[in-house]
């Protein structure tokens, strides 16, 4: 047994699985170290993947050759496309998953990946070679006393670094319920000079379905025609979907919860870590929205073969007896049995301004951080970072150019640029509003944007790439047909009037009719036989028809956004020397000198996004390096 590897990945959560899978499939001899092999890719919190902006990230992961989309499709028990009533840039896929099947499928994939090996243990130290000009990774030491040699390390320890769980006045060490914390790595990295911080997250109670009155709850079904995440043709849409349910708190429930505030570790100073703004605990909600007498909660199944349900929106660190009494006053939960109370967890993280855009640390060569250790929250954000860290660890090892995605190329690019440029002051969660070019970064075109890159670097196979080319050709052909085919005046007036559209004053090309806001190609097919014949004779998929329609309706918006993105590229092309002395530029503000010297941006574009660096400061830099 050779304990010598190219890449070692610490932690088998969502970031670690993607990192290890990518590095190994690209050809690096890779070791994935996890505390518990029975909990690989565990869905420690909500058993769901996707959502607003997060769903776009998962489709991008899949387009690049990552595995999260495939695993989600395999384990899905419900699928919904969120924001269908809004524009296509806001559509976001979300799937409820069987959390046990999700974990099993990931383990099956990892155990059958060439070049990838698993090791159950805990890393206590990262070994560094100081013989060169700059410190460089040379291995890791485990709790079992084993030294493992490697050239690259990807740290994806999630909430485990010095993790402490809180429930009321009780607390215990742990990375999540039932799992020990990870000790040693934080201390090791602090000795190297890394800045460290503390964050907090939480999870709600888990409930026994046998003790819930579902008749009193509001049902939330999946889509009648569900889609999927993966662009691969061999993954199928979910069948036999399970429903979710909506429930509501009340003034009585809130009053009960408030009785425990004096014993809440969030409010009495026990917890010092920063919690998430956009996924707050129920006690945070009551404090922030004190005037609201009702909050919406979502009751979601954790799998097909379990009675365990997840109460989304009821994250809490209040004493268990307070949680339980409040639950029993929610309609439908009068006789509820709790499998496990909600709890908060504090853990160490490393401010991500200490990273390059490759996710390699600036202090130590060959060391990469990905996931919650970078101050993010969410499976999807973690998986995206893990994928890029694994790709870049492999490519740096072989002298290949790093993969860095632009803000106009992917939500993943927005995510990583936000982290390394702006840093975090709370657990970072992706939203569509964080992206300047969200019309370009739609969930429907992630394959067109990123699959060619995945193919180029070797993560996407020939079949998937050829399928993309065929799809693109089919979309272009359908658009061409719509440009050429016409309908006469009066031919589809009844159809248009039924949609609230004006009837035709003269004959029109089908392309111009599709431009109308209420018209869709799928409904137009029913009144224009030649269009239906074309779609059916060419066996065009729903995805092709939808993509053609989006390209037609959003063409003007896309062209305008591309124009602004290209203008920004000019700033991204102006390089700032790595060791430039900002203190020597007295024309910069003091704040700008301090921020630029700490973050050390690589381009003028990146510098322009640093909080505290003004447009006037950017003009000074342009005079120095650009114009």
State the CATH number of the domain containing residue 582.
Answer: 1.10.150.570
Looking at the structure, do residues 495 and 543 belong to the same domain, yes or no?
Answer: yes
Q: Say yes or no: 596 and 528 in one domain.
A: no
Higher pLDDT, 135 or 275: 135
User: Are 335 and 268 part of one and the same domain?
Assistant: yes
Quickly list H helices, 48-129.
54-64, 68-75, 99-111
Question: Are both 309 and 211 inside the same structural domain?
Answer: yes
Percentage of the chain surpassing pLDDT 90?
84
Q: How far apart are CA 599 and CA 421, in angstroms?
A: 7
At residue 211, φ and ψ (nearest 5 deg) are -110, 15
Decide if 288 is inside a domain.
yes
Nearest to 519 by CA among 115, 298, 528: 528
The helix or strand, by DSSP H or E, that contains position 385, with its residue range, turns out to be helix 379-397
Final residue belonging to a domain, choices 558, 583, 598: 558
In a domain, 438, yes or no: no
- Residue 40: C-alpha distances to residues 14, 321, 390, 469, 596 (Å): 8, 32, 17, 35, 39
Q: What average pLDDT score do residues 251-272 get?
A: 91
Q: Kindly indicate the confidence band of residue 312, based on its pLDDT and cuts at 50, 70 and 90.
A: very high
Whether 578 shows a pLDDT value over 70: the answer reads yes
**Residue 520: inside a domain:** yes
Q: Across residues 178-199, what is the average pLDDT?
A: 94
CA distances (Å), 238 to each of 78, 100, 234, 498, in order? 7, 16, 13, 33
Half-sphere exposure of 151 (CA within 13 A, CB side): 15
Nearest to 549 by CA among 579, 574, 521, 571: 521
Q: What is the pLDDT of residue 469?
A: 97
Confidence band for 277, pLDDT divided at 50, 70 and 90 = confident
pLDDT value of position 547? 95
CATH code of the domain covering residue 329: 2.40.30.260
Region 272-288 average pLDDT: 85
Is pLDDT of 242 > 80? yes
Q: Which domain holds residue 297?
A: 206-223+236-343
What pLDDT does residue 441 have? 95
Please indicate, yes or no, if residue 487 is contained in any of the structural domains.
yes
Same domain, 316 and 252: yes
| Pair 212, 315 in one domain | yes
- Lowest mean pLDDT of 75-89, 261-275, 404-418, 459-473, name the range: 261-275
In the three-class reduction of DSSP (H, G, I as helix; E, B as strand; rest coil), residue 127 is classed as strand
pLDDT at 1 over 80: no
**581 and 618 housed in the same domain:** yes
Question: Are 212 and 283 in the same domain?
Answer: yes
Work out the average pLDDT over 68-79. 98
Paired residues of 79 in beta bridges:
95
Say which DSSP state 580 is in.
-
- Is residue 8 in some structural domain? no
The residue from 280, 315, 343 where one domain ends is: 343
Q: What is the pLDDT of residue 2?
A: 78
CA atoms within 13 A on the CB side of 606: 28
550 and 577 in one domain?
Answer: no
Mean pLDDT estimate for the chain:
94
* β-strand partners of 361: 355
- The predicted pLDDT at position 627 comes to 60
pLDDT band at 624 (very low <50, low <70, confident <90, very high): confident
- Whole-number pLDDT of residue 528: 94
pLDDT value of position 270? 87
Q: Are residues 521 and 546 in the same domain?
A: yes
541 lies in some domain: yes
Residue 539 lies in a domain: yes
pLDDT at 59 over 80: yes
pLDDT band at 140 (very low <50, low <70, confident <90, very high): very high
User: Is pLDDT above 80 for 24?
Assistant: yes
Same-domain check for residues 263 and 329: yes
Per-residue pLDDT, 178: 85
Q: Compute the average pLDDT of residues 74-81.
A: 97
Radius of gyration of the chain (CA): 26
Evaluate whether residue 295 is within a structural domain. yes
Number of domains in the chain: 3
Average pLDDT over every residue of 431-457: 95
484 lies in the same domain as 584: no
Residue 266 has pLDDT above 90, yes or no: no
CATH number at residue 552: 1.10.10.1800
**Pick from 286, 316, 343: which residue ends a domain?**
343
Q: Which of the two residues, 347 and 268, has the higher pLDDT score?
A: 347
């Amino acid at each position: 047994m050779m304990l010598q590897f190219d890449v070692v990945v610490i932690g088998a959560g969502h970031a670690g699985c993607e990192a290890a899978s990518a590095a190994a499939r690209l050809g690096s001899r890779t070791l994935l170290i996890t505390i518990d092999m029975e909990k690989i890719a565990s869905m420690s919190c909500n058993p769901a993947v996707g959502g607003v902006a997060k769903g776009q990230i998962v489709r991008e992961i899949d387009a690049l050759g990552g595995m999260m989309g495939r695993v989600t499709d395999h384990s899905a028990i419900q699928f919904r496309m969120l924001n269908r009533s809004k524009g296509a840039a806001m559509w976001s896929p979300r799937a409820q998953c069987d959390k046990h099947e999700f974990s099993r499928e990931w383990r099956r994939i990892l155990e059958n990946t060439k070049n990838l090996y698993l090791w159950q243990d805990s890393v206590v130290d990262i070994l560094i070679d100081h013989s060169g000009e700059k410190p460089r990774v040379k291995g890791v030491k485990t709790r079992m006393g084993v030294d493992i040699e490697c050239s690259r390390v990807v740290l994806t320890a999630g909430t485990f670094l010095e993790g402490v769980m809180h429930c009321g006045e009780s607390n215990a060490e742990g990375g999540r319920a039932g799992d020990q914390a990870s000790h040693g790595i934080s201390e090791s990295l602090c000795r190297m000079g890394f800045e460290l911080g503390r964050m907090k997250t939480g999870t709600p109670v888990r409930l026994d379905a046998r003790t819930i009155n579902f008749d009193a709850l509001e049902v939330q079904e999946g889509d009648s025609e569900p889609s999927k995440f993966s662009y691969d043709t061999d993954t199928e849409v979910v069948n036999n979907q399970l429903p979710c349910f909506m429930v509501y708190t009340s003034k009585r429930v809130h009053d009960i919860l408030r009785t425990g505030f004096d014993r809440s570790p969030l409010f009495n100073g026990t917890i010092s870590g920063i919690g998430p703004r956009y996924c707050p605990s129920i006690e945070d909600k009551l404090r922030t929205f004190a005037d609201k007498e009702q909050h919406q909660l979502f009751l979601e199944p954790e799998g097909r073969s379990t009675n365990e349900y997840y109460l989304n929106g009821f994250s809490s660190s209040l004493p268990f007896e307070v949680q339980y009494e409040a639950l029993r006053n929610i309609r439908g939960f009068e006789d509820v049995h709790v499998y496990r109370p909600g709890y908060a967890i504090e853990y160490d993280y490393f401010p991500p301004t200490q990273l390059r855009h490759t996710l390699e640390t600036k202090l130590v060569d060959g060391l990469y951080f990905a996931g919650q250790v970078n101050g993010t929250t969410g499976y999807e954000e973690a998986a995206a970072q893990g994928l890029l860290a694994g790709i870049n660890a492999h490519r740096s090892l072989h002298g290949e150019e790093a993969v860095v995605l632009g803000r106009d190329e992917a939500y993943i690019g927005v995510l990583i640029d936000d982290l390394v440029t702006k840093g975090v002051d709370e657990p970072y969660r992706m939203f569509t509003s964080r992206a300047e070019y969200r019309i370009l970064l739609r969930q429907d075109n992630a394959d067109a944007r990123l699959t060619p890159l995945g193919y180029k670097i070797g993560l996407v196979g020939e079949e998937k790439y050829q399928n993309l080319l065929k799809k693109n050709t089919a979309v272009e052909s359908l658009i061409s047909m719509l440009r050429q085919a016409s309908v006469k005046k009066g031919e589809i007036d009844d159809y248009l009037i039924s949609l609230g559209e004006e009837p035709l004053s003269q004959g029109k090309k089908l392309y111009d009719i599709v431009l109308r806001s209420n018209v869709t190609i799928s409904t137009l097919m029913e009144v224009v036989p030649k269009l239906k014949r074309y779609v059916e004779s060419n066996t065009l998929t729903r995805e092709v028809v939808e993509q053609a329609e989006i390209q037609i309706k959003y063409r003007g918006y896309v062209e305008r956004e591309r124009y602004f993105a290209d203008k920004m590229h000019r700033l991204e092309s102006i390089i700032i020397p790595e060791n430039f002395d900002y203190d020597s530029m007295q024309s910069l503000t003091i704040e700008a000198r301090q921020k630029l010297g700490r973050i050390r941006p690589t381009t003028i574009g990146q510098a322009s996004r640093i909080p505290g660096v003004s447009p006037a400061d950017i003009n000074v830099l342009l005079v120095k390096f650009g114009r």
